[in-house]
């Protein structure tokens, strides 16, 4: 990664109720559907801070916001 992660900004997402990146929401919806229809082994949940899906979206938000999903 080219820039250091601003962990305070990442923590602010929880504290300031910052919306998830649209791509995080789209990817999580797809992941939850695939997981549920293939045995639900991950049991992904969203809806509240601390749910495993919310935690994953928190990580994806930083990834998408930094443009790391784009080819260089």
Which CA distances in Å does 5 have to 8, 10, 34, 40?
Answer: 9, 8, 30, 32
Per-residue pLDDT reduced to its tens digit, 40-53: 999 999 987 778 99
Q: Check residue 33 and give its pLDDT.
A: 97
Average confidence (pLDDT) over 43-65: 88
């Amino acid at each position: 990664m080219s820039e250091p992660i601003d962990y305070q900004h990442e923590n602010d997402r929880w504290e300031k109720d910052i919306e998830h990146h649209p791509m995080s929401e789209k990817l999580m919806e797809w992941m939850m559907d695939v997981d549920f229809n293939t045995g639900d082994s991950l049991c992904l949940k969203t809806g509240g801070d601390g749910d495993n899906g919310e935690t994953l979206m928190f990580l994806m938000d930083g990834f998408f916001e930094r443009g790391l999903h784009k080819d260089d």
